[in-house]
Amino acid sequence: MSFPASPPQVPAQGAAPVPGRFVSPVPVQRAHLGHALAAEWTKIRSVRSTVWTLLLMAGFILGVGGIAVLYSRGSTKPGDDFLSLGFGGFLIGQISVIALGVLTISSEYGTGLIRTTLTACPQRLRMLTAKALVFFALVLTLGTGTIALFVLLASAVLGGTAGAPPTGTLVRTVLGGGLYLAVIGLMSLAVGALLRHSAGAIATMIGFVLLPIILGLFAGDRIGRFLIEYSPVSISAAIFGEALDPSTNGWQLLGVLTLITAVLLTAAGVAVARRDV
């Protein structure tokens, strides 16, 4: 392979040499959020880590959930909430979403690509917003779809004995589960933007998911109960109908998680806008 013959033709074809100030013959259009969304979509679909992490997520939810469903064929009674069988796979599957959320932004910092990105688009909040929206939409779609697929499989196997779950439960598990994955992923993206370091941010997020429930066991009565109830593990359980406190439901807990995510995203926005890159 070699360089093309010189002299290189840089301007678009047909450009006449202009004396004085250079004016590009390529039509100029003012860039906006739509452009940034298209760019982020190109980025996220053009790396293998996206495909791998999302396949892993689907594999855990369908695989672990599927095994649980098959094992409970004999013991299911009419009226049983068999959707809770999906909890285990969902709990593990969210780790892949966390990794993808972090990598979506930390890989740009890790390689230095963020400088190229912010040179092409110095509106840093636009870049962050586009990343967050594209990632959120992707995980929400695939997360909801995967859980829906799990529910279909579980219903096919156990629905005959247990009967169809009520609509409210279905919506909570399918849409709530998809939203939970998208929100925890978005939180990971915010942490990735704040820490700018892949391994550190992934470890922080896994700590955030697991630590409250472990600390809760050792903390005092009130704090311990609070930590356990609002831990991501408990929220996941509530989405699958296994709430610790029957007076709270999955949606309320999801609201708390969303609130924390909103705070972290705002912090990430401030940090990204202000910091040197």
Partner 1 sequence: MIEARGLTKRYGPHTAVDQLTFQVRPGVVTGFLGPNGSGKSTTMRMILGLDDPTSGTVTIGGYPYRRLPNAGRTVGALLDAKAVHGGRSARSHLLSLAQLAGVPRQRVDHVLDVVGLRDVARRRAGEFSLGMGQRLGIAGALLGDPEVLLFDEPVNGLDPEGILWVRTLMKGLAAEGRTVFVSSHLMSEMALTADHLVVIGQGRLLADMGVREFLDRHSTGFARVRTPDGAGEQRRLLAKVLTDAGARTEPEPDGALKVSGLPLPRISDLAHQHDVRLHELSPHQASLEEAYMRLTQSEVTYRSGVPAAGAAEEPWGTAPHPYGTAPGGFGESEV
Q: Is 141 in the site for partner 1 (CB under 8 A)?
A: no
Stretch that binds partner 1, among 29-37, 84-92, 162-170, 259-267 (CB under 8 A): 29-37
Q: Is 36 in the site for partner 1 (CB under 8 A)?
A: yes
For residues 65 and 253, give the distance between their C-alpha atoms in angstroms, rounded to a whole number. 22
Nearer to partner 1, 45 or 73 (CB): 45
Q: Is 6 in the site for partner 1 (CB under 8 A)?
A: yes
| Cβ burial, residue 95 (10 Å; 0-12/13-18/19+) | buried
Please count the residues of this chain forming the interface with partner 1, following the rule CB under 8 A. 55
Q: Is 67 in the site for partner 1 (CB under 8 A)?
A: no
For residues 203 and 201, give the distance between their C-alpha atoms in angstroms, rounded to a whole number. 5
Q: Is 8 in the site for partner 1 (CB under 8 A)?
A: yes
Q: Is 14 in the site for partner 1 (CB under 8 A)?
A: no
Q: Which of 77, 78, 168, 276 binds partner 1 (CB under 8 A)?
A: 276
Q: Tell the residue number behind the tokens 């909570």, with chain if given.
A: 172
Nearer to partner 1, 3 or 218 (CB): 3
Q: Is 123 in the site for partner 1 (CB under 8 A)?
A: yes
Q: Tell the residue number behind the tokens 């285990």, with chain if given.
A: 88
For residues 89 and 71, give the distance between their C-alpha atoms in angstroms, rounded to a whole number. 14
Buried b (16+ CB within 10 A) or exposed e, 2-34: eeeeeeeeeeeeeeeeeeeeeeeeeeeeeeeee
In this structure, what are the phi and psi dihedrals at residue 166, rounded to the nearest 5 degrees?
A: -65, 155
Which spans of this chain sit near partner 1 (rule: CB under 8 A)? Answer: 1-4, 6-12, 17-32, 35-36, 38-40, 42-43, 46-49, 107-108, 111-113, 115-123, 127, 276-277
